[in-house]
Amino acid sequence: MLKNFLAIMIMAIFFSGCAKSGDGFKCLYEPCEYVAPASEIAAVQGYLTANSITATQHCSGLFYTISEPGTGQSPTACHAVNVTYEGRLTNGNVFDANTISINLSQVIAGWANGVPLIKQGGKIRLFIPPSLGYGPTAQPGIPANSILIFDVELH
């Protein structure tokens, strides 16, 4: 019951992250407002250590490596973006790969927090704890409570 309530609250935060102001839309999303539980952060750190990966920890518990910072503009969590990505599990299984246009207010928190860390033309690898991904809800090809790894290129 509490997990369902938390999931609903997280989704409400994401969908309420953009508000109309006098001069257009202002992004009200705060990427550090929700932090993954310490156990999930430790699990991601364990994966990184076991695989000799050096990554930066975001205030939310997301970990990332930037291979190309890009040179264009950085999006906010309320912007629509064009990206090419590949998503995989820690066992290496690829569950999705695509080129899409999507609003960052409509994606998992790991993306909303991570993609704005690069600029247009940039490339980032995101190591997403379960609660910043799909949490206890299984998705096609993704077991519940999975750590997700995404390679994202921002166009």
Per-residue pLDDT in tens (0 to 9) along the chain, 155 residues: 444 434 444 444 444 444 443 445 578 899 999 999 999 999 999 999 999 999 999 999 999 999 999 998 899 999 999 999 999 999 999 999 999 999 999 999 999 999 999 999 999 999 999 999 999 999 999 999 999 999 999 99
Do residues 80 and 51 make contact, with C-beta atoms less than 8 angstroms apart? no
pTM of the model: 0.84
pLDDT at position 24:
55
pLDDT at position 25:
58
pLDDT at position 28:
86
Give whole-number Cα distances, 143 to 32, 82, 140, 146, in Å.
26, 27, 8, 6
DSSP 16: T
Closest by Cα among 53, 57, 152, 60 to 99: 152
For the CA atoms of 83, 111, 86, 95, the dihedral, rounded to the nearest 10 degrees, stands at: -130
* Domains along the sequence of the chain with CATH: 2-154 (3.10.50.40)
pLDDT at position 5:
37
Spatial strand order in the sheet of 56-57: 56-57, 63-68, 123-128, 148-154, 80-89, 94-103
pLDDT at position 32:
95
Q: What does the alpha-carbon distance between residue 148 and residue 29 come to, in Å, rounded to a whole number?
A: 22
Do residues 107 and 75 make contact, with C-beta atoms less than 8 angstroms apart? no
